[in-house]
């Protein structure tokens, strides 16, 4: 009896696809970038049980990905300051095309499709002007069809709100330039923000942190079913200063910054790597690869409800009743009803993020 993967490969070779959606690619639940023992970089499809359904080549180290809402197409983004994004057919494993950042730009490692799947939005740096930009691409031809300002400096992550019309952008506030590699050029005067935009670029709203937190770079986002935005931060100030690394914002309210005990914050070493929201449990989780920790908070009150040790953990995504996580040691695990379980160990190093296919 041939495996499903072999069956689909045979169909692809014959030019026959019984399904064009994600079911034809094995119905993955998450995407992640990973590095394999032969030093190749790949985009992998994972199930919520920890099974690896496919691993598809990337030209260099990846960061995050964007999944088309209906077609089995994924865009794997280079790690900042990369200038490529690879569009992959996850059924055949073939590269469809490669996006190149326009002259004077680089990608920030994240992007998102519109709800109808017709457009792809990418976070970009106009590094000569030190201005964040959002690129707009047609998802049939993957031609660039527009752009607009992100509302700040250093737009990193971006998400689509449940209304299907509003983008929220994590403008991390950090100025960079490819000539300086990954150096951060404006730490003393950086000003991160969350910016809400229409898909045509119109600014709908913006929040900034208190002045004493201006070195707290807003980096990664998760969106709850009611439209509340969770944001994970990375502290760029003195290491002996204890600051919140997690916040929640609803557009009608002031942001809530979640402040567990000082010892718990210190253990995260000023760095939240990824973020996810479990709607059913009303919980929000962040990871710290530096601290080797996962912290889970109550979404409404902000209270810390659980802290879990997992070396080099970074990727995290929501399960129906908990969270799935990945680590640089190749571990895939789950946290369900407060119980931690290792589901699989793969011979690879998972990179920063788990991108849910919903």
> What digits encode the pLDDT tens for the residues 143-188?
999 999 999 999 999 999 999 999 999 999 999 988 888 889 999 9
In this structure, are residues 168 and 196 in contact, taking their beta carbons and an 8 Å threshold? yes
Strand partners, 275: 286
List of the chain residues with pLDDT < 50: 1-19
In this structure, are residues 313 and 293 in contact, taking their beta carbons and an 8 Å threshold? yes
Ordered DSSP codes for 22-76 = GGGGT--SEEEEEE-TTS-EEEEEE-TTS-EEEEEEESS-EEEEEE-SSBSEEEE
Class of domain 4-356: mainly beta
Order of strands, edge to edge, in the sheet holding 105-113? 105-113, 119-126, 131-138, 144-149
- 79: which 2 tokens? 């790690």
The residues near 244 (Cβ < 8 Å, ≥ 6 apart) are 213, 216, 233, 257, 258, 259, 265
In this structure, are residues 132 and 151 in contact, taking their beta carbons and an 8 Å threshold? yes
Length of the chain: 358
What pLDDT is recorded for position 84?
A: 87
How far apart (Å, rounded) are the C-alpha atoms in residues 255 and 207? 8
152 closest CA partner among 101, 110, 189, 114? 189
With residue 5 as reference, give the H or E element that holds it. Answer: helix 4-13
What pLDDT is recorded for position 279?
A: 97
Strand partners, 294: 287, 308
In this structure, are residues 137 and 146 in contact, taking their beta carbons and an 8 Å threshold? no
The residues near 19 (Cβ < 8 Å, ≥ 6 apart) are none
Could you tell me the residue ranges of all domains in the chain?
4-356
Nearest-Å Rg of the Cα atoms of the chain is 19
In this structure, are residues 325 and 333 in contact, taking their beta carbons and an 8 Å threshold? yes
How far apart (Å, rounded) are the C-alpha atoms in residues 161 and 214? 25
Pairing verdict, β 119-126 and 131-138: antiparallel
SS3 content of the chain, % helix, strand, coil (to 5): 10, 50, 45
What pLDDT is recorded for position 82?
A: 81
Handedness of CA 321, 316, 42, 92 (dihedral sign): positive
What pLDDT is recorded for position 274?
A: 98
What pLDDT is recorded for position 61?
A: 93
How far apart (Å, rounded) are the C-alpha atoms in residues 319 and 210? 33
302 burial level (CB within 10 Å; 0-12, 13-18, 19+): middle
The residues near 129 (Cβ < 8 Å, ≥ 6 apart) are none
What pLDDT is recorded for position 8?
A: 41
């Amino acid at each position: 009896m041939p495996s499903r993967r072999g069956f689909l490969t045979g169909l692809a070779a014959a030019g026959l696809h019984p399904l064009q959606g994600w079911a034809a690619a094995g119905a993955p639940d998450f995407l992640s970038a990973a590095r394999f023992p032969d030093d190749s970089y790949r985009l992998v499809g994972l199930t919520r049980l920890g099974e690896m359904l496919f691993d598809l080549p990337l030209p260099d180290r990846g960061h995050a990905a964007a999944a088309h809402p209906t077609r089995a197409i994924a865009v794997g983004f280079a790690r900042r300051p990369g200038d490529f994004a690879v569009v992959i057919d996850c059924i055949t494993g073939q590269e469809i095309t490669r996006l190149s950042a326009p002259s004077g730009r680089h990608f920030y490692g994240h992007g998102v499709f519109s709800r109808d799947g017709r457009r792809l939005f990418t976070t970009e740096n106009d590094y000569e002007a030190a201005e964040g930009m959002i690129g707009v691409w047609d998802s049939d031809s993957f031609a660039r069809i527009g752009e607009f300002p992100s509302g700040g400096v250093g737009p990193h992550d971006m998400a689509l709100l449940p209304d299907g019309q509003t983008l929220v952008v994590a403008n991390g506030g950090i100025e960079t330039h490819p000539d300086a590699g990954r150096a951060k050029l404006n730490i003393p005067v950086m000003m991160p923000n969350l910016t809400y935009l229409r898909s045509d670029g119109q600014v709908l709203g913006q929040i900034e942190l208190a002045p004493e937190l201006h070195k707290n770079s807003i980096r990664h986002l998760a969106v709850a079913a009611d439209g509340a935005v969770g944001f994970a931060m990375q502290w760029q100030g003195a290491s002996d200063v204890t600051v919140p690394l997690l916040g929640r914002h609803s557009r009608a309210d002031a942001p809530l910054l979640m402040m567990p005990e000082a010892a718990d914050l210190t253990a995260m070493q000023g760095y939240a790597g990824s973020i996810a929201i479990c709607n059913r449990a009303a919980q929000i989780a962040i990871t710290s690869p530096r601290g080797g920790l996962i912290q889970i908070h109550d979404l409404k009150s902000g209270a810390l409800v659980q802290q879990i040790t997992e070396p080099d953990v970074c990727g995290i995504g929501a399960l129906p009743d908990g969270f799935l996580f990945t680590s640089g040691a190749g571990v895939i695990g789950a946290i369900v009803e407060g119980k931690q379980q290792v589901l699989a160990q793969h011979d690879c190093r998972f990179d920063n993020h788990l991108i849910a296919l919903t």
